[in-house]
Amino acid sequence: MIKMILKGVVMGVANIIPGVSGGTMAVSMGIYDKIIHAATHLLSEFKKSVKVLFPIVLGMALGIVVLARIIEYMFQKVPFQTNLLFIGLIIGGLPAIAKKVKGKTIRFGHILAFLLFFGLVAGLAMLGEQEGAAADLTFNVVNVVKIFGVGIVASATMVIPGVSGSMMLMLMGYYNPVLSEINGFIDNLVHFNMPGILEGCKVLVPFGVGVVIGIFAIAKMIEIIFDKFPEYAYWAIIGLIVASPVAIFLMNSFGTITLVSILSGAAALVIGIVIALNLGEE
């Protein structure tokens, strides 16, 4: 249970960092298949699915609520080391995925799947270097529908390995506004400020509903793909994972690089790899 919660924490933190994918973290830690199966069989295998999803969702919530500001502080103070830590977490998951295709014939379609999805992530990262204009979150019917739709898009990309949900929010101009709403909601909750809590719900409720619907919709599609074309799916995921460090380099600032930061960054990279390997499938 504790280990699954910790995996959820890693996914939660990953989902708020542009260029880092919660789906990639799930793959790296060996729980991606379990999450997809649990999400698509929630009704038919309710107890078993809840047993898988509850600790992960709890961990994600803790990661977003408790660690979001710590990670934000780390990116401000030690951006080079923090980025390398997440790159290490991603690299640490490659061996587990490589085993899925090891010893199998590599076809042209596999290479094409790898290149297409590598290009998708790298291309989105290049487009995301400049954040779009901040979105309007004023409470009205049109904006509620928009926020609901943004939740669906963001959740879908969170589920797909290698595609960063926060990066998609940034491209659409919703990243900073939504993150500010989340932080404001947490502050109001801590201080029992009911008017502030209700005001935050006007944005976070439609966004949250969109996230839930998006996760279940895309999970079913991914399950079908893995069932019908498993090798192509794994090569596509390898492409997404390999491209993720590239996306991190393109999306995030690394600050001033010195000899000390290089050495400590190398240590952070190794720590990230070790964490990913230890959080992997038993």
| Mean pLDDT, range 22-32, rounded to an integer | 78
pLDDT tens column, 145-159 = 989 988 887 777 667
| Residues of the domain holding 79 | 2-278
**Using 50, 70 and 90 to split pLDDT, how confident is the model at 180?**
confident
**Using 50, 70 and 90 to split pLDDT, how confident is the model at 259?**
very high
Name the domain count of the chain.
1
User: H or E segment at 183?
Assistant: helix 175-190
236 DSSP assignment: H
Beta carbons within 10 angstroms of residue 207's beta carbon: 25
**Using 50, 70 and 90 to split pLDDT, how confident is the model at 122?**
confident
**Using 50, 70 and 90 to split pLDDT, how confident is the model at 46?**
very high
Of all residues in the chain, the percent with pLDDT exceeding 70 is 88
Beta carbons within 10 angstroms of residue 170's beta carbon: 23
**Which one, of 282, 234, 275, lies nearest residue 84 by Cα?**
275
Dihedral (CA of 103, 104, 108, 109) sign: negative
pLDDT at 266 over 90: yes
Segment among 61-70, 188-197, 266-275 with least mean pLDDT: 61-70
| Mean pLDDT, range 11-17, rounded to an integer | 78
**Using 50, 70 and 90 to split pLDDT, how confident is the model at 26?**
confident
pTM for the predicted model, two decimal places:
0.66
Rounded to 10°, the helix 165-172/230-251 angle is 60
